[in-house]
Structure formats: structure tokens, C-alpha cells
Amino acid sequence: MKYYEEIVKNRQSCRSFEDISVEFEKIEAITDYHEDEESDLVDEIKTELKFYGSKAYGLLKDSVGYNGICIKAPQYAVLYSEKADHYLENAGYIIQGITLKMTELGLAACWLTINDAEAAKAALGEDTDLELACVLAFGYRAKDNEEKKAPKISLDELCMGPDFKTEVNTDLFYHELEDSLRASAHAQSFQNLQPYRMLVDPTTVHLVGLPSEMTNDYDTKLNYGIVMFNFYSVMWAVRPQAPRWSFDAPEHDLKLPDDVEYVAKIKI
């Protein structure tokens, strides 16, 4: 499917950008997308999206970026969010929509881990009550950037079902479902660890989280939001009335081991 093939599959993190600003029209297109599309997971949570120029690198370099490294970029997008149940999954979901919108606009981006949200907010000079929830570096990919595509888990590795103890035959998936699951397998995650699986039964897909010592609680929840957006966006491209993800309990026993957590479900 076009959206999966051209956008989701083509997106790749970028850590070296051209030293040019992004045109105002493109920033406006991202803002319009954010305001107009149904890109929230939990509608009631108040969020605010802000853009900063290259000077933000100097302000953010001590508080964002894993391994002590913040990425230098001509532009940064920051999402501020009210703290509420599932606000990090919601923030991950929203910013993932923006990452894919950037791909559509010919831009490249990279998520940045937040090591100290309060310090980052203060450095940017923001005194909002909302929490700084996500930081994205973005711009045009440098012409000499030779970053390789990150390897991803396969559809067979990602999917099980109907419970954690049963294998699922992925050959039986109908086309839209297969593309949505492939899009999920292609999602960004902290250090590309992809610590989650999807349990697929004839009516529902369940997202479950695997233990990951390296991923903190914060990035774990952002990861979940990102993978949920990738799934939904591909379904939504063909079925605008597609059901949305829900955090309600599963309707049957998923037979999860003690260290695997249930996250959310979506009707298919």
C-alpha cells in the first residue's frame, strides 16, 4: 500500500543534517497537520507543539540525547503535555504522526531521549505547567549522510496469537492488516530494541511490552505510542473509520508471562 511503502517504510532516523533551515511553509504544513488530523491517542490530554531553530542545540545538549549526545539540527520540535494517564503513550503517538508527516514533506528527523525534562524546559525558557514530553531533531538529511537503515524485527517475530503461548500464521493476514503490522515492525524505538509484540486474533490486535533493562519507563511508553501510531496510520489510510486503540483490559486471557505487560488493544 502506498502510505506504507512510500512513507512508513522509507522513514529512517537522521543524525546529520544540511545546515539550512526548513521553509516556513513546511513548518506551517506540520502545524496544520497537528491541528487538523486525528492524531491523538487520548483526545482529552492537553498538549502544545513548539518549534525551535538551531540555537536550541546549545540549550538542549546537556539534557537530551542518549549516551550524552544531542544531535545538531537546524530545527527542533518539542511536545509539551499535561500529565495524565497515558500521557506519554499519547505524546509518542502524536510525535510519531509528525515524524511521518515530515517524511511526506521530504524532511528527516530523529527522536531524542530526554534525560532531564525540567532542565530542558528551563533551558528553552518555557515556564508552562505542561511537561516537556518529546524532542525531535529535524531538517534536511545531509547529502553526505551515509547512515544505514536500522535492521527491524520481522512480521513473524512481531506477531503471535491469539495468546502469548501460541504462534500465528502470518500468511493468513489480509492485506491491510499485514501492512499495518509491517508498519509496526518498522517503528522507531529507543536504541532500536523493539521491546514489544502484537498478539493477533480474528477480531483484535493486542500490544504487549517485553522486559527491556536498557529502556527506562519514560521511553518504554513513548515506544508504545510510536508503534500504535504506525499500526493505526496504515489502517486509517485505507479505512478512515477504523477503530482506535483502547487501554481497556483484554477480553480473553493473553497467557502473558509475569514479566510481559499488557498495553492496549485495537479492533480490526
Ligand X SMILES: Cc1cc2nc3c(=O)[nH]c(=O)nc-3n(C[C@H](O)[C@H](O)[C@H](O)COP(=O)(O)O)c2cc1C
Cα 227 to the center of its chain, rounded Å: 6
Assess 223 for contact with ligand X (CB under 6 A): yes
Q: Which of 182, 184, 158, 156 is nearest to 171 (CA)?
A: 156
Q: Does 191 bind ligand X (CB under 6 A)?
A: yes
* DSSP conformation letters of 184-238: HHT---GGG---EEEEE-SSEEEEEEPP-TTS-HHHHHHHHHHHHHHHHHHHHHH
**CA 235/CA 230 separation, integer angstroms:** 9
According to DSSP, the residues that pair with 205 across neighbouring strands are 200, 266
Which residues of the chain form beta strands (DSSP E)? 47-53, 75-81, 108-112, 131-139, 159-160, 196-200, 204-209, 261-267
Contact between 113 and ligand X (CB under 6 A)?
yes
Does residue number 9 form part of the binding site for ligand X (CB under 6 A)?
Answer: no
Q: Which range in 26-34, 125-133, 156-164, 190-198 contacts ligand X by CB under 6 A? A: 190-198
**Is residue 66 within the footprint of ligand X (CB under 6 A)?**
yes
79, 91, 112, 228: residue in contact with ligand X (rule CB under 6 A): 112
Dist. CA 222–CA 226, nearest whole Å: 6
Residue 188 touching ligand X (CB under 6 A): yes
Contacts of 130 (CB under 8 A, 6+ apart): 46, 47, 48, 80, 81, 82
Write the single-letter amino acid at 22.
V
Contact segment (CB under 6 A) with ligand X among 10-18, 53-61, 78-86, 201-209 equals 10-18
Residue 99 interacts with ligand X (CB under 6 A)?
no
Please tell me whether residue 145 binds ligand X under the rule CB under 6 A.
Answer: no
Candidates 80, 138, 140, 190; binder of ligand X (CB under 6 A) is 190
219 counts as binding ligand X under rule CB under 6 A: yes
Cell matching residue 24:
516556513
- Taking CB under 6 A as the binding criterion, the range among 11-19, 73-81, 100-108, 116-124 that sits at the site for ligand X is 11-19
User: Which of the stretches 44-52, 109-117, 233-241, 252-260 binds ligand X when contact is defined by CB under 6 A?
Assistant: 109-117
Instruction: Give the number of residues in contact with ligand X, rule: CB under 6 A.
Output: 20
Interacting residue ranges for ligand X, rule: CB under 6 A: 12-13, 15, 65-66, 71, 110-113, 150, 188-192, 219, 222-223, 226
